[in-house]
Amino acid sequence: MQITSPNFKENAREALSDAALQKALGNVRTGFIDKRRKAIDALPEFDDLRDSARDIKNHTLAHLDLYLEAYEKKVLEAGGHVHWAETAADARAIILDICRQYGARTVTKGKSMITEEIDLNECLEEAGIKPVETDLGEYIIQLRGEHPSHIIAPAVHLNKEQVEADFRRVHTHLPVNRDLSEPSALLGEARRVLRAAYFDADVGITGANFLVAETGTSVIVTNEGNGDLTQILPKVHIVVASIEKITPTLEDVSQILRVLARSATGQDMSVYTTFSTGPRRAEDPDGPEAYHVVLLDNGRSSMLGTEFQDMLRCIRCGACMNHCPVYHAVGGHAYGWVYPGPMGAVLTPALIGVDKAGHLPNASTFCGRCESVCPMRIPLPKMMRHWREREFQRGLNPATTRYGLRMWALLAKRPRLYRMAAASGAAVLSMLGGRKRRLSSVPLAGGWTRWRDLPAPQGRTFMQQWADRGRNKAAHR
């Protein structure tokens, strides 16, 4: 997908003036937050579970090679295949190869952000293979030729009227006068249309929420059951997952599952939690004939051992963006690539380069709400700051910012000079504040005064007045 992260500011401006988007974002600002709060209030040990989840992942990342190899061994034992993909291009080639091997013409897909990351749909279409997204939200945005704006609610930027219009545009074989005013009617229609696709599909592709080293199992959580139909009905099941999805044991997965859905949607558990191990065995009633796992690195191993390693704990619950005031303001597409919100602000620069994604870690107020809700206790603001440090070191900030910062630091490191500068600044701004005691425009501070007034200083600085107080006291002694 085309990267527009360098145009974050323009993207944001467009998003802010998009009335439909702003209406849709209203649901994010309240719905997710209230539901999560209720779920967590009902589980007093939630914070202890977060500690435990964090520790499990830290341990795993410290021994990632060991667990990945153990996982591979188990998948092979179960009759599956494992493919290692260093880059997105490698992963695409591997998947295309498998599809061709089985003569695939239609591919069903469970929701997978990884396949967004590797541009899989475009690749399949170019090869004459039809990808069908089966998650309702993904299905909707596929009809619209869009990309997800949220990692667990891909169509959260849309209102139901927009979805109705799309269904009427695309499902032309259905009666024109059908009633689609209720969300349940939209769901029912998508369900009926997709049902046929499941039976047509030659290959089913899913992501994975977890890969279990102990058993060679891939785990997905869904609420619609589409994942199960995607991976059970076709002849071939391909799991595409990034390497940090590995988790040592089933016990560990069970532990982390307890924080995942609560953080994401406020559910105790998702409606479906599906475990797949290898292809169909002789005694199984159903399942795919072939089971392939594509393990993708795509830059993640370069985060190991750096200040960004903690990001690899992320379990993609979306709580950080659900609680982010910047995400609430501009939505997910403004971030310009696959991963939006605070987790995207840390992950995207690692995967596509901070030179392209530099805006993302800067577009944060550091309010810390993301970190406070992260079930894996990822210090997101701290890592965004580390990206700012990398940018500063490489001289990627605008020249005016660097110059301003240098002038300011020069003063801040010289208290005497600083006091003099503050005193004259206060005097000038105070005078300009007039009787209203505020300024509606200030040269070089247009960013502030475009939208709000600048309160005028009271007059003389605290330091000046404090010095007077000292002199007066001395005089009265």
Partner 1 sequence: MTSNDTGQPRVGLFVTCLADLFRPSVGFAAVKLLERAGCIVEVPRAQTCCGQPAYNSGDRNDARDIARQTIQAFDGFDYIVAPSGSCAGMLKKHYPGLFAGNALWESRAKEFAGRVHELVSFLTDVMGVIAVDAGLEATATYHDSCSGLRELGIRDQPRALLSTVEGLVLKEMKDPDVCCGFGGTFCVKYPDISNEIVSQKTANIEASGADLLLAGDLGCLMNMAGKLKREGSKVKVRHVAEVLAGMTDEPAIAEGSD
- Interacting residues with partner 1 (CB under 8 A): 9, 12-13, 16, 29, 325-326, 328-330, 362-369, 371-372, 385, 387-393, 397, 401, 405, 408-409, 411-413, 415, 418-419, 422, 425-426, 435-438, 440, 445-448, 450-463, 465-466
Q: Which is nearer to partner 1, 24 or 240 (CB)?
A: 24
Q: Which is nearer to partner 1, 458 or 472 (CB)?
A: 458
Across the beta sheet with 210-212, what order do the strands follow?
A: 246-247, 210-212, 217-222, 272-276
Q: Which is nearer to partner 1, 169 or 437 (CB)?
A: 437
Q: Name the residue among 384, 204, 223 with its Cα closest to residue 279.
A: 204
Question: Cα angle vertex 54, ends 238, 57, to 5°?
Answer: 40
Task: List the structure tokens of 54.
Answer: 């964090």
Q: Please state, in angstroms and as integers, the Cα–Cα distance from residue 346 to each residue in 10, 341, 355, following that order.
A: 20, 9, 13
| 92: Cβ contacts below 8 Å, ≥ 6 apart | 118, 119, 120, 123
CB of 48 vs partner 1, minimal distance in Å: 19
Q: Which is nearer to partner 1, 46 or 102 (CB)?
A: 46
Q: Which is nearer to partner 1, 87 or 365 (CB)?
A: 365
User: Quick check: 227 and 272 in contact, CB under 8 A?
Assistant: yes
In Å, how far from its chain's centre is CA 201?
Answer: 29
The one-character DSSP state at 268 is: S
| 190: Cβ contacts below 8 Å, ≥ 6 apart | 136, 139, 140, 167
In terms of residues, how long is the chain?
477
CB of 152 vs partner 1, minimal distance in Å: 21
What is the number of other CB atoms lying within 10 angstroms of the CB of residue 141? 20
CB of 395 vs partner 1, minimal distance in Å: 11
Q: Which is nearer to partner 1, 67 or 387 (CB)?
A: 387
Q: Which is nearer to partner 1, 88 or 376 (CB)?
A: 376
Q: Which is nearer to partner 1, 186 or 373 (CB)?
A: 373
The one-character DSSP state at 29 is: I
User: Quick check: 335 and 8 in contact, CB under 8 A?
Assistant: yes
CB of 3 vs partner 1, minimal distance in Å: 19
CA separation for the pair 5, 245 (Å, rounded): 25
Q: Which is nearer to partner 1, 80 or 457 (CB)?
A: 457
CB of 56 vs partner 1, minimal distance in Å: 25
CB of 186 vs partner 1, minimal distance in Å: 29
Give, to the nearest 10 degrees, the angle between helix 183-200 and helix 160-170: 40
Q: Name the residue among 238, 243, 245, 237 with its Cα closest to residue 219.
A: 245
User: Which residue type occupies 50?
Assistant: R
Q: Which is nearer to partner 1, 248 or 340 (CB)?
A: 340
Task: List the structure tokens of 357.
Answer: 């994604």
Alpha helices in 265-379 (DSSP H): 319-322, 325-330, 341-352, 354-357, 359-362, 369-373
Q: Which is nearer to partner 1, 225 or 404 (CB)?
A: 404
Q: Name the residue among 306, 347, 301, 311 with its Cα closest to residue 68.
A: 301
What is the number of other CB atoms lying within 10 angstroms of the CB of residue 103? 10
CB of 429 vs partner 1, minimal distance in Å: 8
Question: Cα angle vertex 356, ends 20, 110, to 5°?
Answer: 55
CB of 366 vs partner 1, minimal distance in Å: 6
